[in-house]
Amino acid sequence: MSIHHDERILIFDFGAQYVQLIARRVRELHVFAQIVRADLPASRVKELAPTGIILSGSPHSVYDQGAPTCDPAIFDLGIPILGLCYGMQLTCHLLGGQVKPAKEREFGRAHLQIQKTDHPLMAGLPQETTVWMSHGDQVIDAGGLFTPLASTSTCPIAAVQHQTKPVYGLQFHPEVSHTPLGSILLKNFLYQICGCTGQWKMQSFVRETIDELKTRIGNDRVICGLSGGVDSAVVAALLIKAAGTQVACIFVNNGLLRAGEVESVRETFENHFKADLHVVDAREQFLNALKGVTDPQQKRKLIGHIFIDVFQKEAKNIQGARFLAQGTLYPDVIESGAAADGPAATIKTHHNVGGLPEQLGFELIEPLRDLFKDEVRAMGLELGLPESMVWRHPFPGPGLAVRCLGAVEEAKLNILRQADAIFLDELHKAHLYREVSQAFAVLLPVQTVGVMGDGRTYDSVVALRAVKTDDFMTADWAHLPHEFLSKVSTRIINEVRGVNRVAYDISSKPPATIEWE
């Protein structure tokens, strides 16, 4: 889905690790940014009519076989273009400059000397400033077509401007925090060079998204799967504002949910948003299928299949539905193909409803696909979702099945739910919930000996897991205060029958993972 913004920056993705960060920095400067595949044809770029273009970095060298490139015609559109790192090298390479491996690879902080401090791109910068470099190649000859604007001791051409086109390049990374004045450079590009006025705000974005959804949906019906998480909740809230009673929300109770989850979904969507909410009670079906299954992959597979089955049955009951909405975020699934302008790569392996819309013959609606998690949260608050839902930690699709190690049984799930609820409750009370990225209890399939009153017990072990992470790809175990852990442990052992021991997981990812499975 493309959203029409008066001011829009297209970011060409050449595979840089920082590409998402560039988009976020641009939005922080109140200009809408959209990441697109690097080979987007100039004709399509013209249609999208961006105010400016940023070419990202890349792990490649422009001379690598199969190195990503862009349509050279984009440089003739008269649209301001800023190439960053590889983006600058490629720009110079395509327009007649010369790129060569540097004598030394430059990686880390460097001192940038600005030769043209009066240049609009450099406005407000001191003559010398720290920048972050990460490159092997560099532009050694600007082909007489580019004016050098800045240098470092090892990189004589560290910033350039084309002499006749609105085309610029920076050899360093203005988007990272190690370039402390980088946001001034980006702001100069957006405001001084592209002429942006910075009207983009979450509020207007929400309004535009709702308008766009209204037009697309018309009088048709839409199905929205709710997972209990923030992404699907935001999608549902957007849809309800756009199409009201034409929207049917499906929430599958698979018997593997945390305590109070069905109630909180009902409270938000039935009571608050007055949505047409279908809670499907499929607990028996899931738990029967999982009986005696101990292998985690097997558990996941079974759960995935049953989910599709249950969802499909319920969706069939919703007469005349044409669309199915999903809360896919930019980092989740990056679609390739002719219809999409997005880069071609598929990342998310944990996607719960993947492939479902096509199988069921629905048209897919993904209103969040250009956004990042923190932006989705801001949108949720703007839409009036409760904070408790907006700030929820992620919860895996297979739910408590991956936290109830060994065979999944109702009795074990009940123990796990109680222990988990105590842990989360105490985190909230101690104002620690938002300090950690994800926290939960795990029930281990072992009994250990304990003593209670005069008797020996032989009961279960609960492990507590809490991590801090930005992207969930790597994570640190959270250093929660000992007094806090002690309180949680005492409460769990006192209040949850069947548990006599609590352990705290002090492993980071990697080599451990966040879930225990």
Q: Active-site residue numbers?
A: 85, 173, 175
The two three-digit tokens of residue 302, written as one number: 């079974």
Binding-site member from 225, 255, 380, 397 for ligand XMP (CB under 6 A): 397
| Among the residue ranges 140-148, 178-186, 338-346, 396-404, the one whose residues contact ligand XMP (CB under 6 A) | 396-404
Phi-psi region of 2 (alpha: psi -120 to 50; beta: other; left: phi over 0): beta
Nearer to ligand XMP, 274 or 348 (CB): 348
Q: How far is the CB of 176 from ligand XMP (least distance, A)?
A: 24
Binding-site member from 438, 460, 489, 500 for ligand XMP (CB under 6 A): 438
Nearer to ligand XMP, 332 or 459 (CB): 332
DSSP string covering 20-81: HHHHHHHHHTT-EEEEEETT--HHHHHHH--SEEEE---SS-TTSTT-----GGGGGS---E
Is there a contact between 247 and 276 (Cβ–Cβ < 8 Å)? yes
Binding-site member from 350, 428, 429, 434 for ligand XMP (CB under 6 A): 350
DSSP one-letter code for 434: G
Nearer to ligand XMP, 37 or 392 (CB): 392
The two three-digit tokens of residue 433, written as one number: 């919930």
Q: What residues from 169 to 208 belong to the interface with ligand XMP (CB under 6 A)?
A: none
Q: What residues from 112 to 141 belong to the interface with ligand XMP (CB under 6 A)?
A: none
Q: By CB under 6 A, is residue 515 in contact with ligand XMP?
A: yes
Binding-site member from 98, 197, 245, 513 for ligand XMP (CB under 6 A): 513
Q: With residue 222 as reference, give the H or E element that holds it.
A: strand 221-226
| Among the residue ranges 175-183, 324-332, 392-400, 417-425, the one whose residues contact ligand XMP (CB under 6 A) | 392-400
Q: How far is the CB of 295 from ligand XMP (least distance, A)?
A: 14
Is there a contact between 196 and 373 (Cβ–Cβ < 8 Å)? no
Nearer to ligand XMP, 266 or 300 (CB): 300
Q: How far is the CB of 204 from ligand XMP (least distance, A)?
A: 31
Output the CA torsion sign for 441, 443, 444, 448.
Answer: positive
Nearer to ligand XMP, 191 or 472 (CB): 472
The two three-digit tokens of residue 160, written as one number: 């350039």
Is there a contact between 303 and 242 (Cβ–Cβ < 8 Å)? no
Measured in Å, how far apart are the chain's first and last C-alpha atoms? 36
Q: How far is the CB of 475 from ligand XMP (least distance, A)?
A: 7
Q: What residues from 449 to 508 belong to the interface with ligand XMP (CB under 6 A)?
A: 472
SS3 assignment, position 432: coil
Q: How far is the CB of 27 from ligand XMP (least distance, A)?
A: 24
Count Cβ neighbours within 10 Å for each residue of 353-366 and write b for 16 or more, e otherwise: bbebbeeeebebbb
Q: How far is the CB of 411 from ligand XMP (least distance, A)?
A: 23
The footprint of ligand XMP (CB under 6 A) covers: 300, 350, 352, 394, 396-398, 438, 472, 509, 513-515
